Amino acid sequence: ISFRMHTILLIQPTNKPDSRTWSDYETTTECLEGICKIFEEFLKKQNPTLQSITYDVSHLFEFVDKLNDLSLLVFNKETANYTPHNKEWIKDRIFQLLRSQAEKH
């Protein structure tokens, strides 16, 4: 799958329907980075006195798993449709993204 496709993030943090929200991103990579930023904001709220936040990818995946729902719709040029992806797919792509970022540093 290309990481350069328009991507819609659907997120429902709790079981309450009114917690549903969505965001759209120009690329899947931007969306995956957005999910990491959501987690980082969550950590900042949990630890307001810390100057910097560090975490292990397992903590990020735990956060994703605890969300009531998290899905991506990724545009597929060939079919001119959006392809849905679940939490497992998202976690796999986040892992690939973070690994490639770590290799660059």
Residue 98 and residue 104: Cα distance in Å, rounded? 10
Q: Determine, yes or no, domain membership for 2.
A: no
Q: How many domains does the chain have?
A: 1
In three-state secondary structure terms, 64 is helix
Strands 7-12 and 81-85: unpaired
CATH code where residue 63 lies: 3.30.2260.10
Residue 3: the pLDDT is: 67
Mean pLDDT per 10-residue interval, the chain, length 105 residues: 83 96 97 97 93 92 98 95 98 96 85
Residue 105: the pLDDT is: 75
Q: Determine, yes or no, domain membership for 1.
A: no
Picking from 56, 68, 45, the residue whose alpha carbon sits closest to that of residue 95 is 56
The strand pairing partners of 71, in sequence order, are 10
**What is the chain's Cα-based Rg?**
14
Residue 4: the pLDDT is: 82
Residue 2: the pLDDT is: 55
78: DSSP letter? T
Q: Determine, yes or no, domain membership for 82.
A: yes
The residue ranges of DSSP E strands in the chain, in sequence order, are 7-12, 21-25, 69-76, 81-85
Q: Which domain holds residue 33?
A: 7-104
